[in-house]
Amino acid sequence: MDTVDTENQVGRNQLSSRTALNLAGRTLWHLPGRFAIARLLGPQLSLRCVLFHDVSDEESSFTKGLGGTITRKNFEAALKFITRHYTPVSLQEVLADSDGRALPPRPVLVTFDDAYASVSEFAAPLCLKFGVPAVFFVNGSCLDNQHLALDNLVCYVANVCGLGIINAAAHVAGGTKDIELRSMTEVFARFLPAISLSARQVFRDALLQLARINESNLAEEARLYLSSQQLRDLATFDFEIGNHTYTHANCRALFAGDFADEVDKNKMVLEATSDTKVKSFSVPYGSSADLTSDLVAHLHRSGYDAVFLSESRANPSCPDRFRLDRVSLRTGSDGVLFSEIEILPRLRTIRKSLFGAASKGSYGRVPQLENLRQSAFPPNSEEGVGIGAEASRANPEARKKRLVQHHSLR
Ligand SMILES: [Zn+2]
């Protein structure tokens, strides 16, 4: 069975088991005592953290296939669900809860990653309307739309030009023509986590050159991200501003010397622009494999109070504030939201405690990257992670669409 077949088979298996679990969750939602029943799966669950990215009715060439867009209608429905059945809390309240007992019943912390302009234009006003505090994690290099995040650039090139140019750029960055990337999932889950920060820059430059893109023109035209003024406005309304690295880097590729440019510089830019203190950090791509011991030590030394992942597992009642897990939401249906927030994170936590982390090669091996990986990382680095893998855990439909798109792009 080749890589594509393996990927499809894994996709189908994940899709069917997830569909079955969501169906069970939706059925539970209609039963009396549904939260008490859910507690049977893990009574220790307390703080729920949820994650949104882009809030938009249509995916653009920059976001189609990333699996991070929720429609405005679904976002509003999700906020209504949260305010009706949970208690939205602020980061301050979470940090003040020293023993896990001070938070109100069923606390939920709402967060946004990647600083899309849509969060200021639509999500933040709705959060204000419903009285929901939130944390916005921002990449300083994207502020004011002079640059594109690499994820959006890859997405744009794949959607507009096809995967050929992405492979050609990967050959330049990897120094070998033995790399074959057959889907965006492979780019995000395999290729990007495996290359160094400098190779990432070479890949980015090659993409721009080969696709004949003038980045500043394209970024300005797309207006994907927050402006400095919008960031200031968010801070003015008491929303928390958090660090998401300067360029949305894969943190496992950062050496201690890189923290100044990716972590400290971003904090400085965000604090200077928003005039607030940045005290939380969200790991780009959300994988614990990117939360290296060096990064944790650096964040501790730099005075951060909280670090967020997005592996969609349940947080225990007194969680480690440097490993707060979040669930990515893209639906507005009560039954599915109940399943996504209340049931699936508990089941994933049980699965992890029984079987450990996801097995290697979940998305099929890409043998050409093994050499790159071995040179860049210790042998026990987790595989099968990144925005593609994370989005596929969070949203099977996105994964299905990507697999369809993968074939249409070939
Ligand atoms: Zn991100």
| CATH number of the domain enclosing 336 | 3.20.20.370
Q: At CA 51, angle to CA 35 and CA 373, rounded to 5? A: 120
**Domain, as residue range, for 239:** 3-145+225-367+396-409
Q: Residue 189 domain-assigned?
A: no
CA of 388 to the centre of ligand 1 (A): 12
Q: Residue 43 domain-assigned?
A: yes
Q: Residue 205 domain-assigned?
A: no
Q: Residue 166 domain-assigned?
A: no
CA of 33 to the centre of ligand 1 (A): 36
CA of 355 to the centre of ligand 1 (A): 27
Beta partners for 328?
51
CA of 29 to the centre of ligand 1 (A): 31
**Tally of structural domains, the chain:** 1
CA of 30 to the centre of ligand 1 (A): 34
Owner of token pair 């090659």: 206
Amino acid identity for residue 379 in this structure? P
Distances (CA, A) of 135 to 49, 132, 148, 282: 11, 10, 22, 10
Quote the tokens at residue 318: 């007194």
Alpha-carbon distance of 87 to 69, in angstroms, equals: 24
CA of 285 to the centre of ligand 1 (A): 5
CA of 10 to the centre of ligand 1 (A): 25
Alpha-carbon distance of 351 to 332, in angstroms, equals: 26
CA of 387 to the centre of ligand 1 (A): 8
Is residue 54 a contact partner of residue 34, using CB atoms and an 8 Å limit?
A: no
- What pLDDT, on the 0 to 100 scale, is given for residue 196? 94
Q: Residue 266 domain-assigned?
A: yes
Is residue 383 a contact partner of residue 366, using CB atoms and an 8 Å limit?
A: no
Amino acid identity for residue 172 in this structure? V
Q: Residue 51 domain-assigned?
A: yes
Residues with Cβ within 8 Å of residue 35, at least 6 apart in sequence: 106, 342
Q: Residue 176 domain-assigned?
A: no
Quote the tokens at residue 282: 């969200």
CA of 36 to the centre of ligand 1 (A): 34
28-36 long-range contacts, CB within 8 A, separation 24+: 28/338, 28/339, 28/343, 29/334, 29/335, 29/338, 29/339, 30/335, 34/338, 34/342, 35/106, 35/342
**Got the DSSP string for 101-138?**
-SSPSSEEEEEEES-BHHIIIIIHHHHHHHT--EEEEE
Alpha-carbon distance of 180 to 408, in angstroms, equals: 17
Is residue 56 a contact partner of residue 63, using CB atoms and an 8 Å limit?
A: yes
Is residue 245 a contact partner of residue 285, using CB atoms and an 8 Å limit?
A: no
CA of 222 to the centre of ligand 1 (A): 18
Distances (CA, A) of 392 to 67, 144, 283, 388, 397: 8, 30, 18, 6, 8
Quote the tokens at residue 337: 């939201």
Is residue 362 a contact partner of residue 10, using CB atoms and an 8 Å limit?
A: yes
CA of 284 to the centre of ligand 1 (A): 4
Residue ranges of the chain with per-residue pLDDT less than 70: 1-18, 43-45, 357-410
pLDDT in tens, 82-132: 999 999 999 999 999 877 778 999 999 999 999 999 999 999 999 999 999
CA of 194 to the centre of ligand 1 (A): 17
Q: Residue 241 domain-assigned?
A: yes
Q: What is the pTM of this model?
A: 0.84
Amino acid identity for residue 393 in this structure? R
pLDDT in tens, 357-372: 543 333 233 344 444 4
